[in-house]
Structure 1
Amino acid sequence: MSKHERWSALLELLAAGGRLEVEEAATTLEVSAATIRRDLDELAEQQMLVRTRGGAIAHGVSYELPLRYKSSRHASEKQRIAAAVADLVADGEVVGLNGGTTTTEVARALALRTGSGLRDAATAPSSASVPAPVGPVLTVVTNALNIAGELAVRPQIKIVVTGGVARPQTYELVGPLTMGVLNEVVLDVVVLGVDGVDPDLGVMAHHEDEAGVSRLFAERAHRVIVVTDSSKMGKRAFARICGLDRIDVVVTDSAISAEATGRLTDAGIKVIAV
């Protein structure tokens, strides 16, 4: 097991229990206690946990895994979801993306698709001796710094980044500056990553500031696509984004239950399970 894998596993254990003992972690991960102590020391230096005598505790009351350590969870499901979403986006559209691991995969899938999508301009028959210049295929508006960083180097994508205050756990920009930019744009489609999907309350996020940004994304978009693995179906989080009546499509994995699919369908939502 590599250091990255150990760190991910340790943070998962800490997220589940809020407290972690060295000996317990060593037994679970089948490594030496000395290795666990070094790992916890390094994680504490990066402010991912608080070191205690004999172990570690989570930061604050509710622990949230940093995005880069959540990215390996349900990885194959998220990649399939992202590929399906890319097929729902047409060239020339303005796409909104909030932050999160699933929307990050969507951004990558869009970049790959638009990269190959340049074939249409490159191979289309033309009577002109000089080919027309190829401009951006998509416009992406995002409040996620990591998504902006990945897409900024893609000439086929025009990237618009909201202002705001960065949250280090998720790399999302939030606050009045973010809202100000979103109030000035119109989106064809928004792809929202969420922390919970409840049949009565709608879609939710752990933090009220992120929920507010996602809510405005949905208000500014003609179509709203929610992307989430099936583990979040039926789950509630602290802050409500919007009701199911605002959602057009949910893209999830094939492990979604028939009951959950039925309730979403009854609410007028198209469910795509991959």
Structure 2
Amino acid sequence: MLAVERLTAIEKALNASDCISVAELSKSFKVTEETIRRDLEKLVIKDSTVIRVHGGAYKIREFDQEAPYQLREAMLVEEKDRIARRSLACLEPGDTIMLDSSTTALHLAQCIKLSTLRLSVITNSLRIASELSDCNHTNLIVTGGTYRPTSRSFIGYATTRAMEDLHADKAFVSCSGLHPAYGLTDNNEGEAQVRRLMLAHSNCRYLLIDSDKFGRCKNYRIADLDGVKALFTNREPDEGIKSLMAERGVELVVC
């Protein structure tokens, strides 16, 4: 297959599925992953709605620039697993915890399932709810609400109304961006509201943030770092974020 034919085929695949991975395309077209990366860079130049991310690319939806869940789930898997396993040590038997809809929180849910910890888990994530649905040592509380396919989660009025009546010992929350001037931000207003409430309605607050989020500022503010106990990540942030964390008394845990 000629390079131009392969590029056309990749474009058709992206239009059909909204997201594609480098590994899958490499296997499908029997070329190296580096070749696919070059193809995707050409596609980004050609089409402004195509966004390159670590491990693949996706087409932005109107009013929603977040990468589709299935693509995010395949990104930085080892790093997210290390973050999850390290943060699991914060849990104690009998805890009630809140988990947001992030893929890193999903890794923590998977660690909880493999453990023997008896916990109550509050989440707005359909993916996490499915993961823990047959876990006999967790009491699962799902917020309900309006389903958002991009994040496989529930948001909106019913979700925030449910959150107002819930409280937890600990919250484990991620974000779309962590910026030294603007704090924690999100791509989606509904997700930002849920994460803000999870932090506000928990006694102890933990952040699960991979290094791709550092230095980014998105449209919707979640919160600043006040009251956050620790940030779990896979790489040290820059001095601006480290300085902000030191000012707020947030422990940095590099996994």
Q: Which runs of 5+ in 2 are unaligned?
A: 20-45, 50-58
Post-superposition offset of 1:113: 2.0
Tell me if structure 2 keeps the 8 A contact 1:40–1:55.
no
Post-superposition offset of 1:190: 0.5
Tell me the residue number matched to 2:150.
Answer: 169
> How far apart in 2 are the matches of 1:37 and 1:185?
45
TM-score of the superposition, structure 2-length normalised? Answer: 0.78
Q: Deviations over 1:60-110 (max 9, x none)?
A: 265321111111211111110000111111111001011011111111112
- State the identity %: 25
Tell me if structure 2 keeps the 8 A contact 1:164–1:177.
yes
Post-superposition offset of 1:260: 3.1
Post-superposition offset of 1:189: 0.3
TM-score of the superposition, structure 1-length normalised? Answer: 0.73
- Structure 2 counterparts to residues 171-250 of structure 1, below 5 A: 171-250=152-231
2:108 is paired with a residue whose SS is: helix
Post-superposition offset of 1:250: 0.6
Higher mean alpha-carbon deviation, 73-82 vs 198-207, is at 198-207
Tell me if structure 2 keeps the 8 A contact 1:98–1:142.
yes
Tell me the residue number matched to 1:77.
Answer: 79
Tell me if structure 2 keeps the 8 A contact 1:86–1:113.
no
After superposition, the Cα gap between the structure-2 partners of 1:155 and 1:266, relative to the gap in structure 1 and judged at 3 Å, is same
Post-superposition offset of 1:36: 2.3
Post-superposition offset of 1:246: 3.0
What amino acid sits opposite 1:60 in the alignment? E
- Structure 2 counterparts to residues 31-180 of structure 1, below 5 A: 32-33=6-7, 35-36=9-10, 38-40=12-14, 42-43=16-17, 57=49, 58=59, 59-60=61-62, 63-114=65-116, 117=117, 137-180=118-161
> How far apart in 2 are the matches of 1:41 and 1:202?
34
Post-superposition offset of 1:159: 0.5
After superposition, the Cα gap between the structure-2 partners of 1:259 and 1:166, relative to the gap in structure 1 and judged at 3 Å, is same
Q: Which runs of 5+ in 1 are unaligned?
A: 1-22, 46-53, 118-136
> How far apart in 1 are the matches of 2:157 and 2:7?
46
1:32 is paired with a residue whose SS is: helix
After superposition, the Cα gap between the structure-2 partners of 1:33 and 1:263, relative to the gap in structure 1 and judged at 3 Å, is closer
Tell me if structure 1 keeps the 8 A contact 2:65–2:187.
no
Tell me if structure 1 keeps the 8 A contact 2:179–2:241.
no
Tell me if structure 2 keeps the 8 A contact 1:204–1:236.
yes
- Greater Cα radius of gyration, structure 1 or 2: 1
Higher mean alpha-carbon deviation, 167-176 vs 35-44, is at 35-44
Q: Deviations over 1:206-241 (max 9, x none)?
A: 111111111111111001101111221221111111
> How far apart in 2 are the matches of 1:66 and 1:226?
21
> How far apart in 1 are the matches of 2:185 and 2:47?
32
Cα RMSD between the aligned structures? Answer: 2.4
2:206 is paired with a residue whose SS is: strand
What amino acid sits opposite 1:42 in the alignment? A
After superposition, the Cα gap between the structure-2 partners of 1:254 and 1:180, relative to the gap in structure 1 and judged at 3 Å, is same
The yes-or-no answer on 1:273 pairing with 2:254 is: yes
What amino acid sits opposite 2:10 in the alignment? I
